[in-house]
Amino acid sequence: MPRRVIRKWRPPLAFVLGGTLAAVFCLPLIGIGYFRVAGGILGWGETSWMIGLMAFVATAILGVLLWRLVLQPVRALTAYARNEGASDAPTHFGTPEFSQLGEAVLEMTAALRGREAVLRSYADHVTHELKSPLTVIQGAAELLEDPDLDHADRAQLLRGIRDNTARMEALLDGQRALAQAQDVIAPGECLLSDVVKDILPAVVLTDGLVPLPRDVMDVVATHLVGNALAHGAKTISFDHQGTHLLVQDDGAGISPGNRDRIFDPFFTTRRDAGGTGMGLPIVRQMLEAQGASIRLLDAPGAVFQISFDR
């Protein structure tokens, strides 16, 4: 989570710039007026020294204000950006405008670092998962070089190559979809019944507006229903409860040992049936990109709660 910028009252940037310009404009006029009034009393030399001292003090005050309110925040933000978030994040900035800019940079840095970590993890997972089908294909290719191999064994090896090639394509497609799921889609909302009406055997218990774009909700609903049907569910219900949405099925549920792993990329209990373990991770990434979240509740069957944080 990005660190929040400490909000202390500071004058707006427009006020700082306006005050500086006003001081630049007014100081000569004040100096001329003071010179005319005090020149005949203190003497022209002493009056000149007083005007110089006043100009120096006013310039120093303006310099300190500009340093604290403009230059120092910009330098701190620049140093943090150049270090790519490796150093400690600044806790406050000078003006409200720089505070907003600082918060935006901190949030962007956190998002980029999170995305980098996720993509690195996915790449490691894909590399690991591709080893098995590659090993099978390599072994089959070596066996196919045997000229004395009978037709039945040759056909079986070719079928194994096709199956493992299809699995590799599914893994790569899943990783691509998972990476795309992190992209932020423009905010929107959709009616729950419009999303679910074409997805059988899903039913809507309580209808309502879901604060998610229709494209996102279509993918989320399709993955959740498909996952439930693959695990023996006959009915899947969607229940809109204001700040969150419950998706429940009447399947066998998820075993206690797997509950903490279902959102891990490539984790699946249906590997023999072609499962890639990418459905729920894609759902989670798409929801998080929209500021929402999903978790598995402890209830009969499988009950997922989608919370709308925004």
What's the predicted TM-score (pTM) here? 0.56
Enter the tokens of residue 163.
Answer: 């199956």
CA 281/CA 102 separation, integer angstroms: 31
User: Count of CB atoms within 10 A of residue 309's CB?
Assistant: 12
- State residue 1's pLDDT score: 44
Q: Who has greater pLDDT, 25 or 287?
A: 287
Confidence band for 11, pLDDT divided at 50, 70 and 90: low
Q: What is the pLDDT of residue 220?
A: 92
Domain ranges in the chain are 13-108, 114-180, 190-308
Cβ neighbour number for residue 63 with a 10 Å cutoff: 12
Pairwise CA distance, residues 169 & 120, whole Å:
19
Over residues 169-188, mean pLDDT: 73
Highest mean pLDDT (candidates 4-13, 53-62, 113-122, 194-203):
194-203
> Which pair of structure tokens corresponds to residue 269?
């209990």
CB 208 within 8 Å of CB 219? no
Instruction: Quick: pLDDT tens for 232-272.
Output: 899 999 999 999 999 999 988 888 888 888 988 778 877 67
What is 190-308's CATH number? 3.30.565.10
Tokens, residue 304 = 């997922």
Residue with more model confidence, 180 or 293:
293
Q: Which residue has the higher pLDDT, 60 or 234?
A: 234
Q: How confident is the model at residue 134 (pLDDT cuts 50, 70, 90)?
A: confident
Q: Quick one: pLDDT at residue 36?
A: 63
d(CA 209, CA 60): 58
* Averaged confidence pLDDT in the chain: 79
Report d(CA 245, CA 292) in Å as an integer.
11
Q: Candidates 1.10.530, 1.10.287, 1.10.3470, 3.30.110; correct CATH number of 114-180? A: 1.10.287
Per cent of the chain over pLDDT 70 is 73
Terminal alpha carbon distance of the chain? 16
> How confident is the model at residue 118, as a pLDDT?
62
The tokens of 183 are what? Answer: 């992209």
How would DSSP label each residue in 35-102? HHHHHHHH-HHHHHHHHHHHHHHHHHHHHHHHIIIIIHHHHHHHHHHHTTT-SPPP---SSHHHHHHH
Tell me what pLDDT residue 232 has: 87
Q: What is the mean pLDDT of residues 6-19?
A: 64
Q: What is the pLDDT of residue 88?
A: 65
Tell me the one-letter amino acid at 106: L
Instruction: Decide which of 253 and 129 is more confident.
Output: 253
Residue 189 clears pLDDT 60, i.e. is over it: yes
Q: Which of 84-98, 145-159, 247-261 has the lowest mean pLDDT?
A: 84-98
Output the CA–CA distances (angstroms, integers) from residue 279 to 25, 222, 226, 231, 286, in the order listed. Answer: 65, 9, 9, 13, 11
Mean pLDDT, residues 152-167 = 89
275-302 pLDDT, tens digit each: 677 788 888 988 888 889 999 998 888 9
